[in-house]
Amino acid sequence: MTMLSRVRLLCLAAAVGLSAAPLPYFSSPALALSDIRDITPSEPDTSPATSDDTVEPIDPPVVEDTIPVIPDPDPLIRDDEAEAADDLAAEPPAEVFYDLEKAPEPVRRMRRLIMEAALTGDIARLKPLLNPGPEQTQLSALNPDQDILQTLKSMSGDADGLEVLAIMLDILSTGYVVQDKGTPDEAYVWPYFAGKAIGLLTPAEKVELLRIVTAGDVAEMQEYGNYNFFRLGITPDGRWKFFTVGD
């Protein structure tokens, strides 16, 4: 064998030995291609849904209409005169009497006695008529510790009480009304303005009122809606019940 042939034989043997020797760096078993996991991120499914996987739409909850109805507010400016007229229209008008014969005789007698005493200009003439005692005449400025005549004088604009006498004559010269009829408080009251709304007075009745009070007093009464000057009351049995001022 020649030298060249021996060298080729040695090279071939070395190559065969290397192919049969185990490889230290690849000791793990080899994986098949089907065993390698696909880590590529999946894309969203944009294909149209079939009839089997159709999603039913969800209706929104029904909200009932519970908003309350708010009434219109009252006007900021109230028409007091219109309201007063409505109130007056709802009340039956008071019956006014001028005929004294329709009043009981005891009432007519006491009225006459009061007027006769007032015409004298002597207020002391009224004392017996004021019925001093438990059922004495009610006065606006009644003072239990004061003489009833002094109390009556204190209601006058002068020291002698002459103004009060003049007022009595004026109011007893007008018509009258019956208040609290059929009750223990029944009384025949002068002037009739005490039982009739000021807003319902006729022009002629306003003239009668102006014979007792001033135009300024009438304007004030119209503002408050009622008569607030002196009034005199006599019971059906002829007792002088009150002589007061106010509404």
Mean pLDDT, range 108-115, rounded to an integer: 98
Q: At CA 73, angle to CA 72 and CA 79, rounded to 5?
A: 120
Q: What is the pLDDT of residue 192?
A: 96
DSSP 161: -
Domains in the chain, number = 1
Mean pLDDT, range 156-175, rounded to an integer: 96
pLDDT over 70, % of the chain: 60
Residue 30 within a domain:
no
Residue 27 within a domain:
no
The DSSP string of 56-82 is PPPPPPPPP--PPPPPPPPPSS--HHH
Distance of alpha carbon 193 from alpha carbon 228, whole angstroms: 9
* Most confident option among 81-85, 90-94, 117-121, 134-138: 117-121
Residue 168 within a domain:
yes
Residue 38 clears pLDDT 90, i.e. is over it: no
Structure confidence at residue 24 as a pLDDT band (50, 70, 90) = very low
Residue 193 within a domain:
yes
CA nearest neighbour of 148 among 162, 163, 161, 158: 161
Mean pLDDT, range 108-118, rounded to an integer: 98
- Tens-place pLDDT, residues 209-228: 999 999 999 999 999 889 99
Residue 120 within a domain:
yes
Q: What is the pLDDT of residue 225?
A: 86
Task: Please classify residue 219 by burial: count the beta carbons closer than 10 Å to its beta carbon, then call 0-12 exposed, 13-18 middle and 19+ buried.
Answer: exposed
Q: Is the pLDDT higher at 131 or at 24? A: 131
Residue 23 within a domain:
no
Q: Indicate the range of 3-17, 59-73, 134-148 predicted with least confidence.
A: 3-17
Is the separation of the CB atoms in 199 and 149 below 8 Å?
A: no
Structure confidence at residue 7 as a pLDDT band (50, 70, 90) = very low
Mean pLDDT, range 163-187, rounded to an integer: 96
Residue 214 within a domain:
yes
Residue 48 within a domain:
no
Structure confidence at residue 94 as a pLDDT band (50, 70, 90) = confident
Domain that holds residue 165: 88-245
